[in-house]
Structure 1
Amino acid sequence: MVLASLVPLCFAGWLVWQSMRGDTEDEGSGSPPVKPGPSASGTAGRDGDEQGRPGGEGTGDGDDADGGAREPLAGRTVVLDPGHNPTNRKHPTEINRQVDIGTNKKECDTTGTETNSGYAEAEFTLDLARRVRTELRARGATVRLTQDGDRPWGPCVDERAEIGNEAKADAVVSLHADGAAQGGHGFHVIVPASVRAGGADTSAISAPSRRLGISLAAAFDEVEGARRSNYISAEEGYVTRDDLGGLNLSKVPKVFLECGNMRDAGDAGLFTDAKWRGRAADGIARGIADFLTGKR
């Protein structure tokens, strides 16, 4: 009788023990439970934080721990150099001062050109740089401008190069527009020659700069309305020069983008169109991103 009454009690106890054992097995082999990722406003655990910045190429594929798309340029630094300065013309003494560019000496800066209607290159490049900054930041990049309308003149070409060097930028793009004869139209990219003279030494950055230039030219070529230059012989959309201080003094990959000819009615029509400047900014940002992620 006693034994018969104990059997149901033992069976009930065995069922309780099995239930408890199953709960512990669901957590895995001794590993702590996975905590949900932080919200988008947090910093710990996100791409680009201090503990996990992706520094290599191809970091834009896949998802992060909380299921959001990775920022492909997180951890990368880009310097944008809007050519000239809208108020350079008020400071002729300062901008005409000679500075050393390694191969020789040149003016600190110039006033730039303008369209026939008076839209200044410096206004165009500053607006474009701000738009590109927005596009790159949306991709996770840290972006710095050499000037943001916050200086009365300049900076000088040697300082523009130094800003990129000090930032240890992964890429620097100097934005310009040409002042060629009417009928000449289209863009081209200028990449640094391999130069070793005085304080200039581009031997380490000429090759990556060329890759940046090719990537930028390919992406800009896809911008609606953009076309390659018909007055500059630019293989693959780029030319090589050794006479620009902003390139000669750079220690990081850097190129110039001449977006077109401000004296040409067709190009000028694009430059003065805010919607086109938005499309151009997207193309520039894509070119930079493709270079940094190894897509081109």
Structure 2
Amino acid sequence: MRRLTSLLAAAALAASAGTAAAAVPGAPARPTVAEGAGARAAATPAPLAGRTIVIDPGHQLGNSRFPKRINRLVDAGGLRKPCNTTGTATASGFAEATFAWRVATRLRDALQAQGATVVMTRSLNSRHRWGPCVDVRGRIGNKGYRGRSRAADLKISIHGDGAARSGRGFHVIVTKKRGTVVRSLRLGRLTRAALDDAGFRRSTYTAGGRGIVRRSDLGTLNLSRIPTVMVELGNMRNPRDARTMRSSAGQRRYAQALAAAARRALQP
């Protein structure tokens, strides 16, 4: 009995000493509840880890300075089209290329923060550069292109439209070509839903006002072998759309919506 009492006393003393040790300078601190939660969060895989996403910021700021190069005809997937175009601009001269670049870099940062590997079809926005051509934009991300051993998971091509001043709103374009049409249409619907959720208005000037248009004449879509959408995020000729597209807050909202669409498309 005395032995049992001694053992219990020793155990109590050890527990007391352990509690006091946390307060001793230099003693290892015990993890708090918050620290434990942080450790668990750090151990949770990023939602897009292992995924590769291609972002295509439409056009290039210097395209207009290289007319011979951008007007050269290239394969656009069953037809020949000019390598690229100059893009459009707002009435005040804010270029589509710059708008697309600013949204694209915000989207890139958002996707990388979620663990994705991001491939950009152009690496800068410069008046001294042109391209790349639509055939290159279309093929980037395909398995085998430039030695890629594995296809990227999806591609988002970012644009602003130059329609009549009265029309406004976004629309999502997907290919009619066989191959990726079903998967691209699914991505298109998810992209439309994400832009809807972010409070953006669907196009008032495209057929049916449904926010999705299917086309067979765009090399960026036709030559892609992965799920791909081209988004006309607004009409740069419309004053209300232009205000949103010029603003940092608007560009951030567009990027957040596109990031949400990519995550929905790639998560089970």
The alignment's TM-score, normalised by the length of structure 2, stands at 0.80
In structure 2, relative to structure 1, the CA distance for the partners of 1:212 and 1:143 (3 Å cut) is same
Unaligned runs of 5+ in 1: 1-10, 16-62, 196-202
- Using the TM superposition, give the Cα deviation of residue 100 of structure 1 relative to its aligned residue in structure 2, in angstroms: 1.3
In structure 2, relative to structure 1, the CA distance for the partners of 1:277 and 1:234 (3 Å cut) is farther
2:239 is matched with 265
1:45 is matched with none
Taking the aligned partners of 2:247 and 2:77, their CA distance within structure 1 comes to 38
Taking the aligned partners of 1:227 and 1:146, their CA distance within structure 2 comes to 27
- The reply to whether residue 142 of structure 1 matches residue 117 of structure 2 is yes
1:129 is matched with 104
In structure 2, relative to structure 1, the CA distance for the partners of 1:150 and 1:277 (3 Å cut) is closer
Matched residue of 1:286: which SS? helix
In structure 2, relative to structure 1, the CA distance for the partners of 1:64 and 1:236 (3 Å cut) is farther
Q: Is this contact kept in 2: 1:108–1:157, CA < 8 A? A: yes
- The reply to whether residue 110 of structure 1 matches residue 82 of structure 2 is no
Q: Is this contact kept in 1: 2:101–2:125, CA < 8 A? A: no
1:159 is matched with 136
Taking the aligned partners of 1:234 and 1:277, their CA distance within structure 2 comes to 26
- Using the TM superposition, give the Cα deviation of residue 163 of structure 1 relative to its aligned residue in structure 2, in angstroms: 1.3
Which among 146, 165, 171 is matched to residue 182 of structure 1? Answer: 165
The structure that has the greater radius of gyration is 1
Taking the aligned partners of 2:122 and 2:136, their CA distance within structure 1 comes to 11
- Using the TM superposition, give the Cα deviation of residue 102 of structure 1 relative to its aligned residue in structure 2, in angstroms: 2.5
Superposed, 1:67-82 pairs within 5 Å as 67-68=41-42, 69-82=44-57
Taking the aligned partners of 1:89 and 1:98, their CA distance within structure 2 comes to 16
2:261 is matched with 287
In structure 2, relative to structure 1, the CA distance for the partners of 1:74 and 1:234 (3 Å cut) is farther
In structure 2, relative to structure 1, the CA distance for the partners of 1:290 and 1:235 (3 Å cut) is farther
- Using the TM superposition, give the Cα deviation of residue 273 of structure 1 relative to its aligned residue in structure 2, in angstroms: 0.6
Kindly tell me the number of residue pairs found equivalent between the two proteins.
Answer: 228
Identity of aligned residues (%): 46
Matched residue of 1:164: which SS? coil
Taking the aligned partners of 2:258 and 2:41, their CA distance within structure 1 comes to 28
Q: Is this contact kept in 1: 2:51–2:117, CA < 8 A? A: yes
Q: Which runs of 4+ in 1 moved over 6 A?
A: none
Taking the aligned partners of 2:171 and 2:130, their CA distance within structure 1 comes to 26
| Alignment root-mean-square deviation, CA | 2.2
- Using the TM superposition, give the Cα deviation of residue 83 of structure 1 relative to its aligned residue in structure 2, in angstroms: 0.4
In structure 2, relative to structure 1, the CA distance for the partners of 1:286 and 1:234 (3 Å cut) is farther
Q: Is this contact kept in 2: 1:218–1:237, CA < 8 A? A: no
Matched residue of 2:59: which SS? coil
- The reply to whether residue 173 of structure 1 matches residue 140 of structure 2 is no
In structure 2, relative to structure 1, the CA distance for the partners of 1:208 and 1:271 (3 Å cut) is same
2:65 is matched with 90
Taking the aligned partners of 1:182 and 1:211, their CA distance within structure 2 comes to 30
| Aligned-partner residue type, residue 171 of structure 2 | H
Query: Cα deviations across residues 150-195 of structure 1 (Å, max 9, x unaligned)?
Result: 67110000001121213511010100011000110000000111x3
Unaligned runs of 5+ in 2: 8-36
Taking the aligned partners of 2:225 and 2:251, their CA distance within structure 1 comes to 29
Task: Report the structure, 1 or 2, having the larger helix content.
Answer: 2
The alignment's TM-score, normalised by the length of structure 1, stands at 0.72
Further displaced range: 68-77 or 204-213: 68-77
